[in-house]
Chains A and B, each alone.
Chain A
Amino acid sequence: MKLAPLSTLIRHHGQPHELPPATAASCLAPHAVAATFDFHTVTWQADGFGFDSTSGEFFTASPTALVVMQSLSEGMTRQQILDRLTTRFEVSHSTAERDLESFLAEIVHLGLTTESN
């Protein structure tokens, strides 16, 4: 499986209420993500839909973004997450590392985790 852009994590505010852009969720390997898991205050579904019960915001994540979120929820280190990404997706270590750094910065900006995590 190819690595979809990790930055495909989209925040939906409910207004304007267009349907979210299509994600590559259908490409997700069935074993990749549990039916649901929690990370920080967001509950994620296997299809990439996340709901934050404290802010009421909801998100859609690409399959690769979802793998990272699940890895974070399992308490993995960056190196472990990189290993998981390069094992599951056809991607070089350097590309995965660059995308992961950028993605982690994005989820800090969205308030989905803190710097310390």
Chain B
Amino acid sequence: MNASPIVAVTGLHRGENPQPGSAVIRSLRRVYPELRIIGLVYDSLESGLFSEEDAPDAAFTMSYPGAGVDAFWQRLDAIREIERFDVLIPCLDAEMGPLVDAPEKLRERGIHACLPTAASFKCRDKSKLAELCERTHCRTPQTVAVSDVNALHQAAASLGGNVFVKGRFYEAQHALTPAAREAAYWHMLEQWGAPVLVQENVQGEEYNVIGLGDGRGHMLGSCSIRKMLRTASGKGFGGMVVRDPQLDAIAQSLIAELRWNGPFELEFVKSEGPKGEYCLIEINPRFPAWCDFPSTLNCNLPAAALEQALGWQPREPLRHASPGKFFIRHAIDMTGDIRDLAALTTNGQFFRQPREIIPHPASSRSL
């Protein structure tokens, strides 16, 4: 291992559907400002590459998940010939399968990671949530996995017609009519493969819990929010910290049942009315895009995940964020340079150079 660990992070695009990688980098640098971080990207236009504050020191293009598992490991090995990173923090759902299925491949390469076991990873799969929730006495919407159009319509009819059609890894579309369901089905199949999930529509406020499991049934830290703002596609664009003992208890029982190791995000809808109950929508097996927000409130989960992966003693206990603190996402434009783009596109790698400072003519004038 390097004297000072090198960390690889994926998922650096913060577009309309923001990925978590840049937020992970920002959180790591809050604690370890000198940490060398490399980005593993699938597109040379991943926006996090061009950020001033949370860009990696170097970036390498990865093979697409569709190229297969062998191509994934070969590319990882090729990158490590150039940058021998010690820790991998995967931030995309599609990457998780090959990693949790073959932890020995990480171990034999000397790569540290904070990952769940294959068994607990499979137990939180969207198609298995009902079984998990039955064991933990947690409510969850009825969900049916379908692989053809007839099954889609049958499932929707059995769930009352008002359903969400969801991709295996990402995305959900609210569909009320057969035509809308079918369009959503083909979109999800094309984007994420089979099966496609048909889920009962539970109406209410959305709550998310981010946390870090220790693999023995405990949470090393967590932060719960109510989604305040949502994009047209339902992505959270703002969230308010809440502290509800009932929500904490549900989260704890799910993580204990899974004996979850590593980062997670639990997504709930609280049904409307004075006796509204939390209903588990899904469990994401990685950090969400808002993971840097709790870091500003003394709950730096990405830094804790790094320490956990390396077997380091935690710097300090993670604190509970105070209810009433909230985040609002703010989209800005960043400046890129064609040379960086060229390096990534032609060589599959680029190394961050100090930015050119273009003086404004007015700055040399005396006032």
Interface residues of A (CB under 8 A from B): 13-15, 17, 51, 53-57, 108-111, 114
Contact = CB atoms under 8 A, between A and B. Distances in A.
A103 to B, nearest CB: 15
Given A14-B240, A17-B228, 5 more contacts: A15-B230, A56-B225, A57-B205, A57-B226, A110-B274
Contacts, number: 49
| Interface size classification for chain B | 20 to 34
Nearest to A54: B244
18 contacts: A14-B228, A14-B229, A14-B240, A15-B230, A51-B323, A51-B324, A53-B242, A53-B324, A55-B226, A56-B207, A56-B225, A56-B228, A56-B240, A56-B241, A57-B205, A108-B274, A111-B276, A114-B274
Interface of B: 205, 207, 225-226, 228-230, 238, 240-247, 270, 273-274, 276, 323-324
Contact of B229 (A17, A53, A54, A57): A17
Given A51-B324, A108-B274, A111-B274, A13 B242 contact: no
B229 A15 contact: yes
Given A110-B274, A111-B276, A56 B230 contact: no
Contact of B228 (A15, A54, A109, A114): A15
10 cross-chain pairs, A with B, having the tightest CB-CB distances, nearest first: A14-B228, A56-B226, A53-B323, A56-B240, A54-B244, A111-B274, A56-B242, A15-B229, A53-B243, A51-B324
Contacts of A55: 205, 226, 242, 244, 270
Contacts of B244: 54-55
A56 B240 CA distance: 6
B274 A56 contact: no
A19 B161 CA distance: 35
A95 B245 CA distance: 39
Contacts of A109: 274
Contacts of B241: 56
Contacts of A110: 274
Contacts of A114: 274
From B205, B207, B240, residue with most partner A Cβ within 10 Å = B240
A68 to B, nearest CB: 18
A109 B272 CA distance: 10
A77 B230 CA distance: 41
